[in-house]
Amino acid sequence: MLPPSMQFTPRRVVLASMAVWFLCVVTQWLIGPPLSSDEAAYAILARDGQTIWLYRPIGTIAIAQIALFFGTSEHALRVPSVVLGMAFPLGLALLGNRFGRWTGAWAVALIVTSHTFLMRGFQLLNDLPAGACLLVTAAVLIDELDRPGGPTYRLVWCAPLCAMAIYLRYGAVLVVATFAGVALLVWWRSLLRHPWPVLAAVLLLVLLLAPLAAYSHARTGTLLGVFEIARERATFSTGQGLHRFLLSNPFLFYGALLPPIMLVGIAGVVLAPGPERRRTIFVVLLALAMVIWLGLFSDGSARFLFVAIAFLVIAGVRGVALGIARHRVVIRALAGLVVAGWLTMLVVCAIVQRTITERLGDVMVASAAIRQDAAGRPCYAIARNWLPQLMWYSGCQGVKAHSWTRITPSPPEARWYAVSMPGLPVEVAPLLATVHASSATPLDGGAYLLAH
């Protein structure tokens, strides 16, 4: 947004944005809140190899295995994520530069004002690393397909980027398919003019995904079994995600500054100048397609939309820039809002992580009490929520409070526990009758030892 004649430069804006991102992320990492459910699940899969959740992508499990080299504490497990997460704003800058260096710079600056992104920047999750791969893929596609002479063999770089995204997040296979469909719609003449690089990229992608297909066949009996399991696991009531995407408080859901920019991005197809029209159509159509199908078939977590949000922010920044290019007062005011957003995030992210730590305090105490009481013996812990965290911190197998009748008989020496979670207490008397236990001995943090 800022003209080059002013004291800022795109490079300085990106560096300042990355510094704020890093400071926010490291602050949260140092606070070290307990692992989230997804983080704990990946830690468990990396640690023992006995628990099998086939819908969890093997690429993210590999990152967790690397993290275990640093230790088993929250800080150690999140070290790779702190590093890998920074690839997302860098990928955003790379893609934004295809619409102008100022567009890339201010797109990154705006993303860093959003708690939705910053609160994931240190977690052992796959959203940011997989998203970074997809952003760079989009940049390569624009570079190659928007060329007057058609794509060159540099397009083949899309194959390893897409493969990496799929290994990290199985749902990315739908994003990759959407990329292909929208690219064909927007640049079909370019593709027909020089199809061989496209065919080479597709062939390489198939070869790179062959190990994943072999893994899927070994585990499920079909080449696409793990994708089907992941799809079934991620499917909720039809439209549940759209309800959250469209009807949640947009400023709490996406961030204080992003919603108006995203709305401008949707209108970006009309606002974009002629030379940028196709690439703007490309990113906006991709974003809308992702919002629709994720809204129809997922639970609507904001982190599922990271790539779509990034696309709309880029289109929106470009649209705003075209409208205010000659209004320096407006530019300065918007820059001030961005800096205020950065300062707010430095405070808010730390407060939120401390709140999460306090909220899960009893869960941590209960898990420690169970671990001490079990003393390495086989054990099972019954709870109504936060099972992965309970399993990771206690060392027991987790049992959902409504499904213990389906658990296979445990070893005779196994110990059984029940744990009341925040807002989700376990009713001890009915539980004793259901699991045929004779008594429940209270432990710390709301845990009970069940005696048979």
Whole-angstrom distance, CA of residue 2 vs CA of residue 105 = 10
Q: Are 138 and 179 in contact (CB under 8 A)?
A: yes
Single out the residue of 92, 84, 95, 90 nearest to residue 15, CA to CA. Answer: 90
- Amino acid residing at 393: Y
Whole-angstrom distance, CA of residue 93 vs CA of residue 11 = 10
Residues in Cβ contact with 286 at an 8 Å cutoff, skipping those fewer than 6 apart: 138, 178, 179, 182, 307, 308, 311
Whole-angstrom distance, CA of residue 156 vs CA of residue 153 = 6
For the chain, what is the radius of gyration of the CA atoms? 24
Residue 272: left (phi > 0), alpha (psi -120 to 50), or beta? beta
The full length of the chain comes to: 452
Whole-angstrom distance, CA of residue 235 vs CA of residue 12 = 43
3-state secondary structure of 271: helix
Please report the pLDDT score of residue 402 as a whole number.
Answer: 67
Q: Encoding tokens for residue 19? A: 């510094």
Please report the pLDDT score of residue 329 as a whole number.
Answer: 80
Whole-angstrom distance, CA of residue 61 vs CA of residue 39 = 10
Please report the pLDDT score of residue 237 as a whole number.
Answer: 67
> Which of the 8 DSSP states describes residue 427?
-
Please report the pLDDT score of residue 268 as a whole number.
Answer: 73
Please report the pLDDT score of residue 4 as a whole number.
Answer: 47
pLDDT in tens, the chain (452 residues): 444 445 678 999 999 999 999 999 999 999 999 999 999 999 999 987 666 788 899 999 999 999 999 999 999 999 999 999 999 999 999 999 999 999 999 999 999 999 999 999 999 999 999 999 999 999 999 999 998 888 999 999 999 999 999 999 999 999 999 999 999 999 998 888 889 999 999 999 999 999 999 999 999 899 888 988 888 777 666 778 888 888 889 999 999 999 999 999 988 777 766 778 899 999 999 999 999 988 888 877 889 999 999 999 999 998 888 777 666 787 788 889 999 999 999 999 999 999 999 988 888 999 999 999 998 888 988 888 888 999 999 999 888 876 555 555 566 678 889 888 877 777 777 777 777 777 888 888 888 898 87
Please report the pLDDT score of residue 5 as a whole number.
Answer: 46
